[in-house]
Amino acid sequence: MSLDDKLKSLRENGIDEAKRAQRLQELNDLRVNLLGKKGPITKALRGMKDVPAEKRPEIGTLANNVKKDIQQAIEEKMSELNEKMVAHQLEEEKIDVTLPATKQVQGTKHILNQTIEDIEQFFIGLGYEVAPGYEVEEDHYNFERLNIPKDHPARDMQDTFYLSDELLMRTQTSAQEGRDMEAHDFTKGPLKMISPGVVYRRDDDDATHSHQFHQIEGLVVDKNISMADLKGTLEALCRHVFGDEREIRFRPSYFPFTEPSVEVDVSCFNCGGEGCRICKYTGWIEVLGAGLTHPNVLKMSGIDPNEYSGMAFGLGPERFAMLKYGINDIRDFYLNDVRFLEQFKGVN
């Protein structure tokens, strides 16, 4: 058989084998066996030495065409097999879109976050700024700037976690007051701020106490601030949180950083003031502490108490949430029990 006949026969057989292949591996094997360096086409071309010189270009062109034709047949078959494979895979893995989707459990903001954000938005609407402050605070700002020197007995009520002699985990967000009074430019208007955040005290955890809890401290400093301003602000807050019919009352109290100081009670939102288990049959519920800023606190911030006065108040979001939603144990806020948390989806 002549060399050109051998090459034509190899082309015919190669194309035929490519068409009959059923797997991609068969086509890869065919490519290597026919077109590789040790394949029959390469071996056949070794007989070129016996071909007359004038026919060698023709045989060379034929050999190249044979390789191209076989390569094309293999690629066409590969494309066909790939299409079949993709079609089969799509058939096997198709999704019935008429079936109901798997229900995804959606979480919600923690009830404490909802309560804090609701109170923040209330005060932002009154023109207050939000200043969260630092959880690791200096003794100077946490106590001394609040009129609580190192030997003051009020420190015993706020025993806390000390990191050094001068650094501690803050016991109250009131610590931010000194920083804000220092930085504020009173030529541009009054200082109105709230400071929400976590505070720490050495306390025994039980249904109503925790060594770690939240607090929102509020402060206003301006000319002619009075108890009337304080009462009007807190009455609006209590009506916002507990209902439009609420009234508040002040009871004399003591805080080192305010003078005069008061405990603030709100009329019972459960019985309307008639007396029930929630208000201990008094018609009133204690909700926060407040007062007019002590002159010493203003002086330590470089503010003249003869020209400026201030009001301050501190409330606990946990207490507000417990009263509003009838929660009996403060520890429920921190246990991450989904059965408890899911009861408060979008309550604010």
174-210 pLDDT per residue, tens: 999 999 999 999 999 999 999 999 999 888 888 888 9
Q: The domain containing residue 259 runs over which residues?
A: 111-342
Burial track 37-53 (b if 16+ CB lie within 10 A, e otherwise): eebbbeebbeeeeebee
User: Is 26 among the domain residues?
Assistant: yes
- Is pLDDT of 246 > 90? no
Tell me how far apart the alpha carbons of residues 254 and 175 are, in angstroms, rounded to a whole number: 18
User: Is 232 among the domain residues?
Assistant: yes
- Is pLDDT of 34 > 80? no
pLDDT by residue (tens digit) across 121-165? 999 999 999 999 999 999 999 999 999 988 888 777 777 789 998
Q: Do both 36 and 171 map to the same domain?
A: no
Q: Do both 64 and 154 map to the same domain?
A: no
**What pLDDT is stored for residue 1 in this prediction?**
57
Please check whether residue 139 is in contact with residue 172, taking contact to mean a CB–CB distance below 8 angstroms. no
pLDDT by residue (tens digit) across 8-18? 787 787 788 88
User: Is 233 among the domain residues?
Assistant: yes
Q: Do both 159 and 241 map to the same domain?
A: yes
User: Residues comprising the binding site for Mg(2+)?
Assistant: 259
- Is pLDDT of 275 > 80? yes
User: Is 101 among the domain residues?
Assistant: no
- Give how many domains the chain has, as a whole number: 2
User: Is 9 among the domain residues?
Assistant: yes
Of the residues 61, 93, 125, which one is the last residue of a structural domain?
Answer: 93
Q: What is the pTM of this model?
A: 0.69
pLDDT by residue (tens digit) across 42-80? 776 666 666 677 777 777 787 778 788 888 888 888 888
Q: Do both 145 and 43 map to the same domain?
A: no
**What pLDDT is stored for residue 237 in this prediction?**
96
Please check whether residue 199 is in contact with residue 298, taking contact to mean a CB–CB distance below 8 angstroms. no
Of the residues 48, 63, 93, which one is the last residue of a structural domain?
Answer: 93
**What pLDDT is stored for residue 49 in this prediction?**
67
Name, in order, each residue with C-beta under 8 angstroms of 123's C-beta and a sequence gap of 6 or more. Answer: 130, 194, 218, 237
- Is pLDDT of 115 > 80? yes
User: Residues comprising the binding site?
Assistant: 259
Tell me how far apart the alpha carbons of residues 297 and 337 are, in angstroms, rounded to a whole number: 42
Q: Do both 69 and 146 map to the same domain?
A: no
